């Protein structure tokens, strides 16, 4: 874990402030002053001190919140009138939002200091689904629905396929459930704007195994043991997937005269080159 991240996750400061704190030379790791924010620390072994005070690693916490509208998903914003940290007790200031909901969107927001869980839920390669309830202006026609589901271009990049379920429809408004696994900035609103439809109300109701349920805006609670276990299962599955990809990449030993592999592609590898034996893509020096 990077030193900057360690400080922010254990309640010393925001991540941005931690960057300056480390650069100022006020942090020690095992008795040595470290001024590099990316310095790797092991919370289970290393002793970290900030301004002479030992920073004890905090246990993992998982908070599920129903974020209200007009509340900013950040720890510090000079332009925000209220942030999610104004809702939580101060002793939870070390947890960080997993992804963001824009100021106008309400609903399910997970906050945690578990970096593995945060990474698994937000990285697009893991394809963890998020479901939103949305009210959009006018009657959403079949052509627009299909266009959204198959993908529209945002910033020159096509969105991944999604699923839209129409709940109710009238001349003035359409209510939908939209499920996607990407998490681009204001993605749902911008997608509907591509079919000339304005989102009037947007609420995230599910993220992976977590469900918002019938709760009021501003309500929050810690996750149950079962919910935490479900998140850990996602982390473990993705860890196994990454290991499988890693195992599929092999290296020819530098300086070896002959390849140990029968594949012609592998025999052509130069020293220090690697190849993914599934895709046959070669990495490294050519």
pLDDT tens string 11-40 = 787 777 888 999 999 999 999 999 999 999
pLDDT score, position 237: 82
Show the tokens assigned to 104. 């106008």
102 is catalytic: yes
CATH class held by domain 3-54: alpha beta
Tell me the HSE value of 94 on the side-chain side, using a 13 A CA sphere: 20
> How far, CA to CA in Å, does 243 sit from each of 181, 237, 247?
22, 10, 6
Q: CA–CA separation, 32 vs 35, rounded Å?
A: 10
> How far, CA to CA in Å, does 29 sit from each of 52, 100, 192, 258?
11, 32, 49, 46
Residue of 35, 102, 116, 155 with catalytic role: 102
pLDDT score, position 124: 82
Q: Where are the beta strands (DSSP E) in the chain?
A: 27-29, 32-33, 48-50, 53-54, 62-67, 96-97, 106-112, 130-137, 153-154, 157-158, 163-169, 173-180, 199-207, 210-211, 220-222, 249-251, 274-276, 282-283
Which stretches of 10-88 are DSSP H helices?
15-23
pLDDT score, position 58: 86
- Our separate counts of H helices and E strands in the chain read 7, 18
Where are the domain boundaries for CATH 3.10.290.10 in the chain? Answer: 3-54
The rounded average pLDDT for each run of 10 residues, N- to C-terminus, in the chain (286 residues) is 85 80 93 92 91 90 96 84 93 88 95 87 88 97 96 95 96 96 93 96 96 94 96 84 54 45 51 54 57
The whole-model pTM stands at 0.75
Question: For residues 78-116, b (16+ Cβ closer than 10 Å) or e, as one string?
Answer: eeeeebbbebeeeebebbbbbebbbbebbbbbbbbbbeb
Dmax of the chain from CA atoms? 74
pLDDT score, position 271: 59
Where are the domain boundaries for CATH 3.30.2350.10 in the chain? Answer: 62-222
pLDDT score, position 76: 74
CATH class held by domain 62-222: alpha beta
The secondary element (H helix, E strand) that includes residue 241 is helix 225-247
Chain centre to alpha carbon of residue 205: 17
| DSSP code of residue 73 | S
């Amino acid at each position: 874990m990077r030193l900057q991240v360690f400080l922010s996750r254990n309640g010393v400061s925001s991540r941005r402030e931690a960057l300056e704190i480390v650069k100022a030379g006020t942090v020690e790791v095992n008795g040595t002053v470290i001024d590099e924010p990316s310095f790797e620390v092991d919370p289970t072994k290393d002793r970290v001190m900030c301004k002479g005070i030992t920073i004890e690693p905090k246990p993992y916490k998982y908070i599920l919140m129903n974020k209200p509208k007009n509340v900013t998903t950040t720890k510090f914003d000079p332009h925000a009138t209220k942030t999610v940290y104004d809702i939580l007790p101060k002793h939870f200031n070390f947890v960080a939002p997993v992804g963001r909901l824009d100021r106008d969107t309400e609903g399910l927001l997970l906050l945690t200091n578990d970096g593995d869980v945060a990474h698994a839920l937000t990285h697009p390669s893991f394809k963890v689904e998020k479901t939103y309830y949305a009210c959009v202006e006018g009657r959403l026609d079949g052509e627009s629905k299909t266009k959204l589901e198959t993908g529209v271009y945002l910033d020159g990049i096509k969105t991944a396929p999604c699923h839209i379920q129409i709940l109710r429809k009238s001349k003035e408004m359409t209510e939908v459930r939209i499920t996607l696994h990407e998490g681009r900035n204001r993605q749902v609103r911008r997608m509907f704007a591509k079919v000339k439809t304005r989102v009037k109300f947007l609420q995230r109701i599910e993220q992976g195994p977590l469900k918002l349920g019938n709760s009021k805006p501003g309500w929050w609670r810690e996750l149950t043991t079962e919910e935490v276990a479900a998140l850990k299962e996602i982390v473990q599955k993705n860890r196994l997937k990454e290991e499988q990809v890693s195992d599929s990449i092999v290296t020819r030993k530098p300086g070896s005269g002959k390849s140990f592999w029968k594949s012609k592609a592998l025999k052509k590898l130069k020293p220090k080159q690697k190849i993914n034996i599934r895709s046959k893509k070669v990495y490294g020096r050519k």
